[in-house]
Amino acid sequence: MQPLQFSNKTRNNKMHIPSLGLALVLLISLASPASSCTQHEKNSLLQFLAELSQDGGLAASWRNNTDCCKWEGITCRKDMTVTEILLPSKGLQGKISQSLGILTGLQYLDLSHNSLSGGLPLELVPSSSIIFLDVSFNQLNGTLHELSSSTPARPLQVLNISSNLFAGQFPSTTWKAMENLIALNASNNSFTGHIPTHFCSSSPSLAVLNLCLNKFSGNIPKQLGDCPKLRELRAGYNNISGEVPDELFNATLLEYLSFPKKYLNGAINDAHLPNLRNLVTLDLGGNIFSGKIPDSIGQLKKLEEFHMDNNNMSGELPYALSNCTNLRIIDLKTNNFSGQLNKVNFSSLPNLKILDLLYNSFSGTIPESIYSCSNLTALRLSSNHLDGQLSPRIGDLKYLTFL
């Protein structure tokens, strides 16, 4: 399963929300249209429609004298039970009606990219049937309801509430009932409090956890290292502080580790870093890390993006960086790096597109190997102590648009 990524205002922010659609495709089984839905379920849908102030033209399809299984965005199975409501980007305004909680067979609910407001009905997240719930990119507000610790296990697998106006303490006991959870995106809200510690013990299949762009505080929970299937962990742009716990390096399937713009400190653990051999993106920019880039960085053979900008890193660039042959972005600007750049063999980085070393203390000449990076589009070396001349080989950088 490819890592699910979700769109937001983070550094890579195309946040890959199309992959949430991929999750939907992977989860949905083909449903056969029913001959006629029940009056009970039709009434529930009509109540939802009635509570919208702008229905995006749904009223033309959702007519009381027609079969609701044939309404726009509605899918039923053979027993005439509504299983899917898929209405993204329909221009819907108004509140999400509690009546949707009456649909006992509803499995997939997608109301993303609309202008819905008000709270998220209590009946939806702990539903006994919903496995995919996406209400991202709306104007929903209020708090998320805390479930009792005795709540039975819920079937929810994918929850995307990103890019709304939710606030208040982030629930803790709620997640204890989500033992089937695979992906949680709560980014770009105003949640406060500490990151819950029991995500992994409650949801052993958790693969995606995105909590960036909130107001979380405290430390990174060491228990996140106990997620055996975690592939994406993003929690940047919060108020989290402290060191990266050693236990986090036990999450060996991690592909995306992103904690930019925080108050994290300490050094990168040379001994434990090789555990994360599946990393594609390592983003620790905008913190207060210190020390050197460890030689073990060279064991991250899949690494494509390396962001350590705006920290207090120092020392020379290790030759081992040459072993990360899939690198596309190296962003080390605004640190205290020094020494000569020829310590790195850039000719072994054929995919490199962005090299940003602004505001450091590198010295010597620009290494000839840089001109072998024929895919470079941006090269920034200013505000260092470099000397000498540019090689005529700079003409080999055919795609260079920023120098």
What is the predicted pLDDT for the residue at 117? 97
Query: Against a cut of 0.75, is the pTM above it?
Result: yes
Distance separating the N- and C-terminal Cα atoms of the chain: 38
What is the predicted pLDDT for the residue at 79? 87
User: For 365, which DSSP code?
Assistant: P
Task: Please report the domains of the chain, with CATH numbers, ordered by start residue.
Answer: 267-403 (3.80.10.10)
What is the predicted pLDDT for the residue at 27? 52
For residue 150, give every residue at least 6 positions away whose Cβ sits within 8 Å of its Cβ, in sequence order, or none: none
User: Nearest to residue 259, comparing CAs of 311, 207, 302?
Assistant: 311
What is the predicted pLDDT for the residue at 17? 41
Q: Are 36 and 67 in contact, with CB atoms under 8 Å apart?
A: yes
What is the predicted pLDDT for the residue at 118? 96
What is the predicted pLDDT for the residue at 262? 81
CA distance 227 to 207: 8
Spans in the chain with pLDDT lower than 70: 1-35
CA angle 124, 230, 308 (to 5 degrees): 115
For residue 30, give every residue at least 6 positions away whose Cβ sits within 8 Å of its Cβ, in sequence order, or none: none
What is the predicted pLDDT for the residue at 20? 53
